[in-house]
Structure 1
């Protein structure tokens, strides 16, 4: 159905030209709670409540509100965008950072005490025991969406889209997601670094020595990133834009080195 829908839309707009350049950024945020007394930081599973409050105070009250808020994959996440797209003039660049500041201030204003908005790429303890508030244990049973050993289904947004996507990808693969990130090696790192999973045959086969093993979509889609969406003037221009950005983005990702921690380990 998705492919048929894409083909229908493609044939309907493939010959359209001279659309005005419009663009916008999308920033994903994590909600974190600080327990200063016990020196503990957790992800707060209150994204849906925060989202409801922000939408009620913003776009539902004023259709021209300068910010928009949308759900994200993690139930500890929200996504913020400008209320209206930016245009094609250079002066539009002067408004981007101001709008980002507005979004952060707006979202922070509805959080509880000792909570904060975080845009770090990967939460360092994502997948560690007790990384959420309230705490939930993973339940790697067939009835679950992810069957993860580390990422509880409660950390997935309750919107049907996200749980269904997680379950469908696992079913199509015929196995869980497999992620192996090389572990950082120094004099304190066991060599080889090996994790054992006697209770999960699938994980035992998939995990590699000297790697940090992860088994759920939440370790990708549960991270934060900055995205930019463009409306080009035509499909031809959109292709050129895509091809150029596709080569730049991996370089920028490598230069930023923004996600050194996975499951509490250094990569």
Structure 2
């Protein structure tokens, strides 16, 4: 993943599903990324943590895409994913965009996800337009513009120079951080887990999620969705709700294990009580 940014931000976002808590700690997922700033090329590792819990009511609003999305070649699919945490459709124009958006939706540090946003830049003395595939707004205040492309479309193209020009131009209102992401940057397990969390959020309801949250202070430091269902007496509905709550951070996966009803989860809701 190649990153281009304008300004230094001390607290940087990491991957969803990790948290350092009392007891056996979860290992944070650290991504090594190529970060480009105006006039500077260097590599660094970034990660951070958050426990913010969003509102859980589900209402589906339209997409905020600023352009229509045409069909692509290479067997690309065009469609939308439902964000049950921010209550709207989010459109994609390729399989890799869909995967990036899906993981972004469940990242507990992301508070907003915008797709297909227009931006201007100056190159060779000419003012030009470009469309950013994804913009992520993090709860630390960082805004990240993500340019999602197939790896073969990045190499040998002018994309790096275009993104650098966008980073160098007067776009402080758009983003602080500029990233080129390809299929090589997509962790399939993270994506599959994100799909499971989204589907669970769509199936569960706010009353059951509240019941689970209220029960966490009385439960062990490490617990499974099955045990949560047994403890609350709600069975399968509480299992689904507990998986949906992975997005909020009150429950956390160990070591990015696959999600199922017997997954060991760190009960961070117990320590927050």
TM-score by length of 1: 0.24
Structure with more contact order per residue of length (Cα contacts < 8 Å, sep ≥ 6): 1
Which structure is higher in strand share?
A: 2
TM-score by length of 2: 0.23
Structure with max Cα Rg: 1
